[in-house]
Amino acid sequence: MAAITALGVSVVAQATGAPKIMVNDDVIQENGFPRVLARYGFFQDGGAREASDNVHAYELNTPLWSDGADKLRYIYLPEGAQLKADGDGLLQFPVGSAIIKTFAYGEGDDQRFIETRVLLHRADGWLALPYRWNDEQTEAKLAIAGDRIPITTASGEEISYRIPNKNQCKTCHSVDGEVIPIGPKARNLSAKWLGEAYESGRLDRVPEGADTLPFWTNTSVSKDARVRAYLDVNCAHCHRPGGGASNSGLDLSWEQTDTFAIGINKPPVAAGRGAGGLLVSIEPGKPEKSILVHRMNSNEPGIAMPELGRSTIDHEAVELMRDWISEMSE
């Protein structure tokens, strides 16, 4: 059994292949950050294609859109630890757990990993770290300062893909100044995954309201539900009470029912030039006069929303927003 210590965690590669992560704040000052992803032991191979024991893949009903990148998501739980349900919201992770997300382009043998982001839950809170994959796809190295990589997206657009630096991770992953996960909410996880997690003992219960967020392109559900799902996943981590954009007064979370808080007939508070001279976030019947559409449909710095995480426009989502607003009664 070989022990590796770094970043306030001790990663122990056991005979079963399962990593064991333990919190130890003293190790941070002694050893600094893990320089390569493989040192955590989350995967059985250096290319991160085969998860170790206690590392469980998951998917979201509606995923965050990031320049059309595919994402491979995993949760690591220490041996004997359990996730706790908190209504239909974010699952509560025990100290010592981790969330791992790899961004990739291409399919099959042509799939290329670009970066892997790791969220570690330590005794003093969550810590976010980005790792960049090499051209050979054999190793991902820590990219504290972030990076820029030329990428051709699935739609054929050539972009300068941004790997966020350590501090930029906090921009989206922050509520009331504390870093938190934003993806694995019970309402955005499948009933099958939640049921299996409960049956295996990894989850304490399947809460009411779980698996209610639809996939936003699913035309068999209402347009309103599709829009609200997209906004919840792509915008509400900042546009919510305590979020990074709470000063806007917008609350785009799924559970918000106040139409003014969602933005309907709501004047901007702190949009500045990002408002484009428009008067309200959402003007019923008039998408061309709605700040929401204006900002989603721009790539210009200071106007584009979200501010981070994209270099291209999600045209399909913009069209959905236009249709949704056009059908509102004036």
Which among 258, 254, 263, 303 has a CA at the least distance from the CA of 283?
A: 263
Contacts 24+ apart (CB under 8 A), 168-174: 168/308, 169/117, 169/128, 169/129, 169/130, 170/128, 171/238, 171/244, 171/307, 171/308, 172/237, 172/238, 172/244, 172/306, 172/308, 172/309, 173/119, 173/126, 173/128, 173/237, 174/243, 174/244
Instruction: Examine residue 94 and say whether the peptide bond preceding it is cis (omega within 30 degrees of 0).
Output: no
**What residues have CB less than 8 Å from 121, skipping those under 6 apart?**
93, 94, 95, 96, 97, 98
CA distance 7 to 25: 8
What's the mean pLDDT in 300-310?
79
Per-residue pLDDT tens digits for 217-253? 899 999 999 999 999 999 988 888 877 777 788 899 9
Specify the range with the lowest mean pLDDT, choosing from 31-35, 204-208, 273-277: 31-35
More confident residue, 140 or 168: 140
Question: Per-residue pLDDT for 330 more than 80?
Answer: no
pLDDT at position 176, please?
54
pLDDT at position 243, please?
74
Band of pLDDT at residue 3, cut at 50, 70 and 90: very low
Q: What is the dihedral of CA 192, 42, 65, 241, to 10 degrees?
A: 80
Specify the range with the lowest mean pLDDT, choosing from 18-27, 43-52, 298-307: 18-27
CA distance 37 to 156: 29
Question: Per-residue pLDDT for 20 more than 60?
Answer: no
What's the mean pLDDT in 296-306?
86
pLDDT at position 249, please?
82
Tokens matching residue 39: 């040192």
**Arithmetic mean of pLDDT over the chain:** 84
Q: Are 217 and 63 in contact (CB under 8 A)?
A: no
Per-residue pLDDT tens digits for 104-145? 998 888 899 999 999 999 888 888 899 999 999 999 999 888
Band of pLDDT at residue 13, cut at 50, 70 and 90: very low
What's the mean pLDDT in 24-47?
71
